[in-house]
Amino acid sequence: MICKLESKKIEELNTTNIITQTPFWGRIKKNQGLLPLGFELTVSKDLLDVNEDADVKTGEDLLILTKKIDDNTCFAYVPYGPKLEPSFENQGLFLEQLSEAIKPHLPSNCMFIRYDLIWENQWAVEDEYFDKSGNWIGPPISKTQEYRVNFKTNHWNLKKSIGDVLPKNTFFLDLTLSEKELLKNMRYNTRYNIKKAFKNGIRVKEYGIEHIKDWYKLYHDTAVRHDIPLQSEDFFTTIFTNQDHHNKGVTVKMLMADLDGEFLASMFLVLSKERGTYLYGASSSCKNNQMASYALQWESIKISKNWGCIEYDMFGSAPNLEKTHPLHGVHIYKKGFGGDLYHRMGCWDYPYDKEFYDLYQYKEQYL
């Protein structure tokens, strides 16, 4: 089994469907004070699956971010990576070998590495973790998860993070379907609301950075209404201005829906290789009966399809239909567009300094 890394400049990383593993994301995070590191990862295929040939190699690019904890320590974070997905039984072994291979490339004061795994959640394919209505009830307690994931590892060092950073549950739409088929897959109410929005006179257009204040006004309204931690206007300006300016990179589109010149809904659509991602959305608390957000989402889906994307990521939802979940309303809205619900493994840590990590994890519980 082989797992090795070679350093690579951030701008030399290949663009992928996963926007958080692109040069675009590295630039954004650098502007926000994190240190991005690029690598070319090579592994033997038997590290991914025991039934594969050990002499056959495969690889991918990997973006890692390092973030300060204090003046003397930091940790490494892999946003939605690695992209290579091992069989369930090899996940722990793969992460263990990768973590040890990465360690020499990280600052000496790096205390642990955190993987925000995009891999399908192991417990989302087992019937016993679904209720009688077919809703996923979620994975077991962390200790049980750790026991399974550390199977076959040498050090049993992988820990489930206290929380997750990027969305762990999302809906994916298949954009290889025709527009007619996409509409047919939607809930009746969603199709009706799209039709109603356009009948009411809602218009959806793409705007440039000169309208960032209009976006931010809607975003501020949404964040306050849903008690979401506020980002600054500069945060969104950074996303818009760091996109690539060639067709092989990442493109950001700021779409806004208006009625008679009044903006009612807006979103950041990110197009990366063959995936469109609904990265951020916002809406006005006024005139929500005009269904502007439905028209906006449908236009975004069509733009992604016409761009050449084969999938559309709704980027975040509740794991199930539990009404007490804070994202229940978001889940119902996104589910209406007919996508398939996907559950990721979420954040997992590999401590390099176990004593420090135990203390840090304890503090995270109360942050």
How does pLDDT run across 25-82, given as a tens digit for each residue? 999 999 999 999 999 999 999 999 988 888 899 999 999 999 999 999 999 999 999 9
Please give the average per-residue pLDDT across 129-139, as a whole number.
92
Q: What does the pLDDT read at residue 126?
A: 95
Condensed to tens digits (0 to 9), the pLDDT of residues 255-283 reads: 999 999 999 999 999 999 999 999 999 99
- 327's tokens: 């994202």
Q: How far apart are CA 313 and CA 337, in angstroms?
A: 11
Q: Are 214 and 220 in contact (CB under 8 A)?
A: no
Alpha-carbon distance 102 to 41, whole Å? 10
Domains 3-166+345-364 and 176-309 share a fold: yes
Domains in the chain: boundaries? 3-166+345-364, 176-309
**DSSP states of 271-288:** EETTEEEEEEEEE-SSSG
* Residue 367: pLDDT band with limits 50, 70, 90: low
Architecture of domain 176-309 in this structure: 3-Layer(aba) Sandwich (3.40)
Rounded to whole angstroms, the Cα distance separating 32 from 69 reads: 15
Structure tokens given for 170: 């999302």
Q: Which tokens hold the place of 99?
A: 């973590």
Q: 292-351: per-residue pLDDT in tens?
A: 999 999 999 999 999 999 999 999 998 988 888 888 889 999 999 999 999 999 999 999
The set of residues, in sequence order, having a beta carbon less than 8 Å from that of 323 and lying 6+ positions away, is none
> Is the Cβ–Cβ distance between 265 and 283 less than 8 Å?
yes
Q: Please state whether the predicted TM-score (pTM) of the whole model is above 0.85.
A: yes
Residues paired with 205 in a beta bridge: 256
Residue 54: what pLDDT? 84
How far the first Cα of the chain sits from its last, in Å, is 39
- Adjacent-strand bridge partners of 349: 114, 159
* Highest mean pLDDT out of 203-212, 217-226, 239-248: 203-212
> How far is Cα 147 from Cα 317, in angstroms, rounded to an integer?
27
Q: What residue ranges in the chain does DSSP mark as E strands?
A: 3-8, 35-44, 57-68, 74-78, 110-120, 159-160, 169-174, 203-207, 250-259, 262-272, 275-283, 311-313, 340-351
Is the separation of the CB atoms in 315 and 331 below 8 Å?
A: no
Evaluate whether 50 touches 32 at the Cβ level (below 8 Å): no
Burial readout 144-153 (b: 16 or more C-beta within 10 A, e: otherwise): ebbeebbeeb
Distance, CA of 76 to CA of 73 (rounded, Å): 11
- The fold of the 3-166+345-364 domain, in CATH, is Aminopeptidase (3.40.630)
Counting beta carbons within 10 angstroms of the beta carbon of residue 26, is it exposed (0 to 12), middle (13 to 18) or buried (19 or more)? buried
Identify each DSSP E strand in 191-249 by its residue range: 203-207
* pLDDT score at 1: 65
Q: Per residue in 98-111, pLDDT tens?
A: 999 999 999 999 99
Share the mean pLDDT of the chain.
94
